[in-house]
Structure 1
Amino acid sequence: FMTEGCCLAPSGILAEATSTSMATVTLAGIDSTLSYLIIYGEATDTIDWDTLSIMADSLVILDSLLPCTSYLIFAQAECGDQEITSTDTIDLLTLGCGTCLDSVYCPLTVNAVGDEWIERVVLNTIDVTSGYNDGYGDLTGNATQLKQGNSYQISITPGFLDDTLPEYYYGWIDYNQNGIFDLEGEQVFASDTATAAEIFRASLTIPQQAPLGLTRLRVLMLFDPVDDTVSGCNTVLDLGEAEDFCVEIIIDSLLCPKPENLDTMDYQGTSTNIVWERVDSAIAYIIRHRKVGDEEWMEAVDTAIVFPLMELEECSMYEVQVQAVCQRDTSGYTESFVFSTFCSTSASDLTLDMSLQMFPNPFSDAITLQVDALSSQQAQVILYQIDGRILHQKSIDIREGEQSFTLHNLGYLPQGMYLLGIQSNRGSTVRKILKN
């Protein structure tokens, strides 16, 4: 035996996460006359670690930890100038990662003798070759995302000590995330007969209403099972192997796509209707608009595919975006649809920092704009009917100096007077032009 007074590290150290931010550390073989240091830090950070000084106490609480984070922990005795020894460094994963990692799952009774095992599993982005795991492999460090309503193929490659044997294959996903595979429908595949194939393949479909989040997949390979006892929790593994993985159930964004083909309808100069194509799965739409260059959006919600924008400022450029709202998800916003409001006679006096010429006047099929700008800017070239309705609109990037832009394919327009305008955030101008 050894008397007290030696400066030795604890003989053992264990850690257990108790919440998303707390854990307990248990020390074994401590000396009641010594104090100890608990040293811990994030596994990815080898510099900024914390040190906790304690008197001889076998149970220590760590707090202010980050959720779902891996920590490394070890302990030392405080010995002044004496030589310091440390415990082994242990791993700790705090809670908050999801059911797959946070929950204690139902165990299997394993009596495997090592004649056969699961050699490899492939499912979506999971591709793990694990070899023999003494009858059970905890491979939850491997995960993949599976989308609601989508189907996936899983392949399992068996491994054998000697001869190839016919095997049965089963799989479960803990959809209700309760730590056991007891819900009807949680068995996602099962082989009807034993197969000696080099690779077993099956298809599994994620239910459209499956709860979102990280949960567990369990796969099982058995030789000659008793049918009534094959389950994800209670099966006895004498000949075969089981492996656990994590799968994250996510929303399929394609089930709630963005609206398409935004346009204006019934344009009235300073008011218009915004229209778009219906999204079949949408129950409503969020419409937002603002003047180009403004920071704040004005938002509205509607169930129709036509939305009126009223009392807009004249001679201004606006952008509109629309988002679909579906039963379980929302789409992203569309790209901005940009349009311009009509410039009245008084507004046409706004000065652009450019000179503008347009020709020919009268025109027949095309109009060319000659621009001499003092600075670079984005602008809109707009052809109006004489009553202010937009007929043609084109976005242009104006550079400093002289350049030209052409509107083509205007021969379809009837003879008469039109208005041709150019607008930017710096101002606008409108000129009359004749079609012959």
Structure 2
Amino acid sequence: MAKAKKSVFFCQNCGHEETKWLGQCPACKEWNSFVEEKVSVTKSSTVKTARETQVVSLSEVSADDHTRVLTGIRELDRVLGGGIVPGSLVLVGGDPGIGKSTLLLQVCQNLSQTKHTLYISGEESLAQIKLRANRMGEFKENLKLLCETNLETIRTVIENQRPEMVIIDSIQTMYSEEVASAPGSVSQVRESTNVFMQLAKGLGISIFIVGHVTKEGTVAGPRVLEHMVDTVLYFEGDRHASYRILRGVKNRFGSTNEIGVFEMRQNGLVEVENPSEYMLSGKPENASGSVVACSMEGTRPILIEIQALVCQSNFGLPRRTAAGTDYNRVNLLMAVLEKRIGLPLSNYDAYVNIAGGIKMNEPAIDLGIVMALVSSYKNRPIDEKMIVFGEVGLSGEVRAVNMPEQRVGEAKKLGFETCIIPEVCREMVKEIKGIKVVGVRTINDAMNLL
């Protein structure tokens, strides 16, 4: 029987617990992160599974990568590292209306062809899910629906049904009767995630969890939520734009920083097989301040258009704006141009934009930003068939970047004829017919090519 309720303060960032409010969390050093919750002390719940506790040698454990389950969506399989690992717990976060539920319902549509899947919704009714599913096409009988938020009921259903894949939409709506705080609180989210983690590992069920995000763009709830799961995926993009980017920020079974690109249409999300071509569509011709650079997202090279506009300032304090890249990095590169080349940019407004709305912060686009700024300042267009990449240091040197050969190969595939790269990467790039590779040591060498 539950004892009397008491007040406990939880850190929203790391889940640290204190009996009184503190300005700074002693565990993660975050300020103003403690929230008060009413909790009851009860007997802790455990998940009973058929798995026996035993100690085995590492050499006796077999782990075959071919056991991964393909979702039927190649972009998602790429981000997951080759498919779904049985018994894994995957967290999918993103802004409201970005398409998280739509993507997971499409996964259920593909897997229900051969797998027993269970879609558990705490936010929509059965009729609402059916209306959304009607836009996507036909679903098989293997897909079962459950509208429930009680954690004990959901656990019983999963143990009885034994599905091969479960979708939880969303973790903030789940609640346990043994925890007295409200659904979505730190205690409820932590308890619910712990139960689903034990179910996934004990029964070998792959579970996808949908998580709401805060205004800062991180998953709402304690930071320990991301530590407990095996994979964390973020769905990015503007709700008013048609493209979506699925980014992996944590993956115990594959590489991180992989991305998948989707386009939102009336019948659901459609894969974008060639993101570079998609990002460069509509590029202006013979326009100053426009240059194509190459960025690596995981193992995938993506060509992006960097636009810059430099104009005379009408005020004593010039304005600087950066869209799609780091604002402080743009200020740093402008300071390098003023010091090393002598461009009087202190009297000019500067606007830098990554076309298409995509966000890129890789240092390899530094040389592209520099050349776009100089091109706009001198009002001199850059060759449309030229692509650049390289990191720029404070001394004006162009430093090496990783995987230059893959970047040049992507440029060749899209029809570019000249590629400006760091001189130190020149030996790593093999001769590729149809494209001229030029190495530069400093930004002065790159400016001379204009």
The TM-score with structure 2 as length reference comes to 0.27
Structure with bigger helix share is: 2
Structure number with higher relative contact order (C-alpha < 8 Å, ≥ 6 residues apart): 2
Q: Which has the higher strand share?
A: 1
Please give the TM-score of this superposition, normalised by the length of structure 1: 0.28
Query: Larger C-alpha radius of gyration, 1 or 2?
Result: 1
